[in-house]
Copies of this chain bind each other. A is one copy, B any other.
Amino acid sequence: MKCFMPEELSGYCQKLLTGIGVDPWCAQVTADMLVDADMCGVSSHGVSRMSIYVQRIQRGLVAKENRIQIVEEGPSTLVVDAGNTLGAPSARFTMEACIRKAGETGCCFAAVRNSNHFGTAAYYTRMAAAQGMIGFACTNLTGKIAPHGSAEPFMGTNPFSVAAPSNGAPVVLDMTPSVVALGKLILAQKLGQEIPLGWALDEEGAPTTDPAAGRRGSLLPIGGPKGSGMAVMVEILSGVLSGAGWGPHLHDLYEFDAPQGVGHFMGAIDIGRFIPVDEFKGRVSDMAQEIKQLKRTEGAKEILLPGERSARQAEKSCTEGIELPQSVYEELAELGRPFGYSL
Contacts and interface: CB of A to CB of B under 8 A. Distances in A.
Interface string A223-250: 1011111101101110111110010100
A295 to B, nearest CB: 4
Interface residues on A, range: 35 or more
A164 interface: yes
A173 B155 CA distance: 15
Nearest to A303: B149
Number of copies: 2
A7 to B, nearest CB: 31
B173 A233 contact: yes
A22 interface: no
A223 B225 contact: no
Contacts of A1: none
A34 interface: no
A47 interface: no
Interface string A272-315: 01110000100110010011001111101011111000000000
Given A152-B295, A243-B274, 20 more contacts: A75-B75, A77-B273, A77-B274, A107-B267, A147-B303, A149-B303, A150-B297, A151-B297, A154-B291, A154-B294, A171-B233, A175-B225, A175-B230, A222-B222, A222-B226, A225-B306, A229-B306, A233-B306, A240-B280, A242-B274
Interface of A: 72, 74-77, 79, 104-109, 111, 134, 146-152, 154, 162, 164, 171, 173, 175, 177, 179, 201, 205-206, 222-223, 225-230, 232-233, 235-237, 239-243, 246, 248, 267, 269-271, 273-275, 280, 283-284, 287, 290-291, 294-298, 300, 302-306
